[in-house]
Each structure stands twice: as C-alpha cells, then as structure tokens.
Amino acid sequence: MKNTVHVTYDGFWDILAAHDVPIENSPHGSELPSGGLSDALAGAIDLRNHAEMAVLGIDVYRYSQFEPLTQSLMPLVLHLLLEGAQQRCLQAASYLFQKCTQQDFAEHYIDTGDGGFMLFDTPLHALIFAINFELELRVFNSFRRFPRLRSILATDVSLRYAMTYDTVFSVDARFYGPGIIMNGRMLSRDHLNRFLIDQNTFDWFTKYTRGIENLPCIGLTELQTLPDFADYDASLMDKEGEKFFAREGNVGIGSRWKDIDVLKLGDITVKTQTVCIYGLHIHYVTTMAPGTDKKERVPFTISLGNLNTSGID
C-alpha cells in the first residue's frame, strides 16, 4: 500500500525537548516566540507528502437496537467477515490486490467496535473490498457460514458504508487525517443503510474510469495504464478468479455488474466545511462456494447501498 508520512510520539517529544520548555517559570505565564519549533514541527508533519488514500467506513446499521448479547458478539462477527473479505481480495482479485498482504489489511484497519475504517490506495480497491465484504455478509446472513452463530444473533446484520478520498498520515501505529474524519461524519449523518461517497471519490472515478457507472466496461489492461497501477504485474491479470473486470473492456451483457446508480444527495456542512455527498447503489452477481466442496458454487446477488434520497441531516 501507499507510503504516507509517519510521525512518532518519541520524535515529537525530541522536537519539543530541543525547541521548547516543559514548564514556564513566569508567575503569570507568557507567550514565547516559536523560535525553531514551528519549522521543526512543520518538517516532521510534512503536509505536502501526506498520501491521498481511499477510506472505506463500515458501520453496523441499528447496532444500538440489538440485544446485549448480539451487541457484544458483533465485533467478533465483523472480524470473521473482515478475514473472509480479505481472503477473497487476495485470492480472487490477485491482480488488483497484488500490493496488499494480510498484514497490510490489519495495519490499515481502524476498529470502532460496531464497524471501522479501512484504508486503501484507490477508491477502486475500496469498492472491490466492499463488494467482497458484502458477499461474506450475505453468506453469513443466509445461514451458510457459522449457522449456529447466526442463529444466536437472531437478526440479519445490515451495514452502511461511506467512502472518502483524502489525505491521511500516521502517528506511531494509528492513522489520522481529513479522509478519516470526514468519513466518520458522513456515516453519522446517515440514518439509513446506504453507501455514501464524497466529491473526491466521485471525481476520482470520473477522471480515471469515465464515471463509476462505466465500471462494467473497464478492462484490466485499461487499469494498467492508470498511474496507481502502472507498476503492477500484468501477468497476474489471467489469475483473477472473481473476474470483477475482464482483461479487455467490453459492453457485453455478461458483466457481473448488473446495476450501478449514483445519486447526488446534496451538501452537508461540517463546521466550516461543505461537502457534496452522493449515494451509490450497485447490484453485483457472482457465484460462491460457501461449503466445504469448492466445486459446488451457488449464485449470489448482493446490493450495495440503496436508492433512497432522504435521511441525510
């Protein structure tokens, strides 16, 4: 995955020790000139080199209405689903995720208990992961994986998603930045189980794929020409098990992308920042082998998001 600016608390403390004083002995306190502190901090934070990354926010819909046992089990259930989605990405989408490892997924996930935030190099990676995650959820909800655990929950698990594309940086092992902050605020404004995307995400797909609705017509050879995929190993194209994208783009009816709709929901204002929000709705069809017999594949159709345009505060 992309490298971004990494700051350590120890390094921050060293800068303070070199350019500031922990205690000001003046009886009234006094504002001191910054001296070299401002330049040292600016150099460490290095705003110009903060990487733009796609942030996929996942939130369990109506989590607070679950029974106490179900609430307590949900972080463990999400962990199972995350592991399944990660395996699907690495095995069935080996070209797209050739830069990722299990450790990368673990290090770029921010757990919130009833959901979390996952960081990716591009919005396309985030979208494919979301589809795989929703497929794992459908298998679980339909009692085809861990059916006894599913029975104990006594309810379908439904998710809402948000995707942002903005800068992030890390402090020790934790990630921060505008992309994560805005993603959380978008999820908090949604009262339905939608898939929200911000203007930056919308613009990324428009620039590189001629619009997110055009994904069924995109081929892996075209993706290879994009800056984020320029150094990818093209030999892995033929090893894509899921076939999210054919090797060559086409407009045939055999695509697994059945419907893609993007609806502009309006603007939300967070403090002094106004952001345009879109609702994404996707139907995706595939076959999976949820049982032990990997040759026995079952068709699944999943929906990401919905077409409801109300409910954004």
39 with 173, same domain: the answer is no
- Per-residue pLDDT for 111 more than 90? yes
28 with 123, same domain: the answer is no
Q: Is residue 309 part of a domain?
A: no
Distance between CA atoms of 95 and 91, rounded to whole angstroms?
9
pLDDT at 254: 65
Q: What's the rounded mean pLDDT across residues 255-267?
A: 91
35 with 80, same domain: the answer is no
Q: Is residue 311 part of a domain?
A: no
- Residue 300 or residue 239, greater confidence: 300
- Residue 238 or residue 108, greater confidence: 108
Q: Which helix (H) or strand (E) holds 110?
A: strand 109-111
Residue with tokens 């899921």: 242
78 with 133, same domain: the answer is yes
81 with 209, same domain: the answer is yes
- 157 contacts 140 by C-beta, under 8 angstroms: yes
Q: Is residue 267 part of a domain?
A: yes
Q: Which helix (H) or strand (E) holds 263?
A: strand 257-270
Query: How many folded domains does the chain comprise?
Result: 2
**Which structural domain, as residue segments, surrounds residue 18?**
6-45
Q: Is residue 175 part of a domain?
A: yes
Tens digits of per-residue pLDDT, 209-231?
999 999 999 999 999 999 999 99
118 with 14, same domain: the answer is no
- Per-residue pLDDT for 253 more than 70? no
24 with 144, same domain: the answer is no
173 with 230, same domain: the answer is yes
Strands (E), the chain: 6-7, 51-60, 109-111, 115-120, 159-171, 174-176, 195-198, 257-270, 273-288, 298-304
CATH of the domain at 117: 3.30.70.1230
Q: Is residue 270 part of a domain?
A: yes
Cβ neighbours around 171 below 10 Å, total: 15
106 with 158, same domain: the answer is yes
- Residue 208 or residue 24, greater confidence: 208
pLDDT at 30: 63
- Residue 59 or residue 35, greater confidence: 59
pLDDT bin (cut points 50, 70, 90) of residue 297 is: confident
Q: Is residue 272 part of a domain?
A: yes
Distance between CA atoms of 71 and 64, rounded to whole angstroms?
8
13 with 57, same domain: the answer is no
pLDDT at 288: 81
- Residue 313 or residue 309, greater confidence: 309
Residue with tokens 């990401």: 304
87 with 172, same domain: the answer is yes
Q: Is residue 171 part of a domain?
A: yes
Tens digits of per-residue pLDDT, 71-80?
999 999 999 9
Residue with tokens 């045939």: 252
Q: Is residue 313 part of a domain?
A: no
Q: What's the rounded mean pLDDT across residues 114-143?
A: 97
Residue with tokens 């783009």: 249
33: its two tokens: 């000139």
37 with 89, same domain: the answer is no
